[in-house]
Amino acid sequence: MKLLNSKHLLTVVFSLILSVSFAQDYDLSGVDRFRMRNAGSIISNRVIKGYYFFYESSKHAKGKRNYTIVILDENLKELTSQKMIESDKVYLVEASYNNTSILLKFFDLKQKKVMYRSVNNEGELSDKSTRVANKYEVSSYQQSYATDVSNLTLNPFGTNMFLDYYIFKGGKGYTFKLDAVDSKGEKLWTYAPAHTGGIDAATYMAADNDQALFLVYRTEKTMSRDYKFSVLSIDASGKKRFQIKMESPKHNLMPHHAYIDKDAGTIMIVGEYYDSKDKSFKAASKGIFIKMLSLDGEELSQKFLSWEKKIYAKLSEDERSDAAKYYMYFHQIIKTADGKIIAVAEQYRKQVSATGVAMKVAASALGGTTNASALEIKIGDLAIIVIDTALKVDEVKIIDKHSNHIVLPQGYEYVSQHLLARIIKSEGGFDYYFTQADSANSKVTFGYIDREKVEGKNGRKDVFNAVNYASEGDGKFTSDKIILSTNAYEMDVMPAKPGFILIYEYFRKDKKVSIRLEPINF
The larger pLDDT score, comparing residue 413 to residue 248, is at: 248
* 38 within some domain: no
Cβ contact 115:128 at 8 Å: yes
Amino acid identity of residue 392, one-letter, is K
pLDDT digits (tens, 9 = 90+) for 256-313: 889 999 989 999 999 999 988 876 667 788 999 999 999 999 999 999 999 999 999 9
Mean pLDDT, residues 306-335 taken together: 92
How would you class 93 by CB atoms within 10 Å of its CB: exposed for 0-12, middle for 13-18, buried for 19 or more? buried
Do 408 and 464 fall into the same domain?
A: yes
Do 255 and 185 fall into the same domain?
A: yes
Q: Where are the beta strands (DSSP E) in 121-247?
A: 129-132, 154-157, 161-169, 173-181, 187-191, 198-207, 211-219, 228-235, 240-245
pLDDT > 80? residue 315: yes
Do 295 and 397 fall into the same domain?
A: no
Do 330 and 478 fall into the same domain?
A: yes
pLDDT digits (tens, 9 = 90+) for 105-122: 999 999 999 999 998 878
Do 322 and 451 fall into the same domain?
A: yes
pLDDT > 70? residue 354: no
Do 337 and 303 fall into the same domain?
A: no
Mean pLDDT, residues 408-430 taken together: 75
pLDDT > 70? residue 353: no
pLDDT digits (tens, 9 = 90+) for 163-204: 999 988 877 888 999 999 998 889 999 999 988 888 888 999
Considering the entire predicted model, what is its pTM? 0.83
Neighbours of 389 (CB within 10 A): 10
CA-wise closest residue to 178 among 193, 189, 165: 165
Amino acid identity of residue 184, one-letter, is K
Mean pLDDT check: name the lowest of 148-157, 402-411, 413-422, 424-433.
413-422
Domain residues for 194? Answer: 160-314
Cβ contact 166:138 at 8 Å: no
Do 358 and 372 fall into the same domain?
A: yes
- The pLDDT > 90 percentage for the chain reads 43
CA-wise closest residue to 54 among 21, 15, 19, 94: 94
Do 274 and 302 fall into the same domain?
A: yes
* 65 within some domain: no
Do 397 and 270 fall into the same domain?
A: no
Do 266 and 343 fall into the same domain?
A: no
pLDDT > 90? residue 43: no
* 264 within some domain: yes
Mean pLDDT check: name the lowest of 78-82, 359-363, 375-379.
359-363
Cβ contact 518:501 at 8 Å: yes
Mean pLDDT, residues 202-228 taken together: 86
* 117 within some domain: no
pLDDT digits (tens, 9 = 90+) for 63-86: 888 889 999 999 999 988 988 898
Give the chain's mean pLDDT.
84
Give kind and range of the element (H or E) at residue 16. Answer: helix 15-18
Residue 516 CA: distances (Å) to CA of 27, 271, 404, 463, 496: 9, 36, 28, 16, 10
Pairwise CA distance, residues 254 & 27, whole Å: 43
The larger pLDDT score, comparing residue 435 to residue 36, is at: 435
Domain total for the chain? 2
Distance from chain centroid for Cα 111: 28
The predicted structure's pLDDT at residue 267: 96
* 123 within some domain: no
The predicted structure's pLDDT at residue 458: 55
pLDDT > 70? residue 56: yes
The predicted structure's pLDDT at residue 410: 66
CA-wise closest residue to 102 among 83, 80, 87: 80
Do 402 and 256 fall into the same domain?
A: no
How would you class 339 by CB atoms within 10 Å of its CB: exposed for 0-12, middle for 13-18, buried for 19 or more? exposed
Do 427 and 477 fall into the same domain?
A: yes
* 72 within some domain: no
Residue 255 CA: distances (Å) to CA of 228, 258, 450: 11, 8, 28
13 phi and psi, to 5 degrees?
Answer: -65, -35
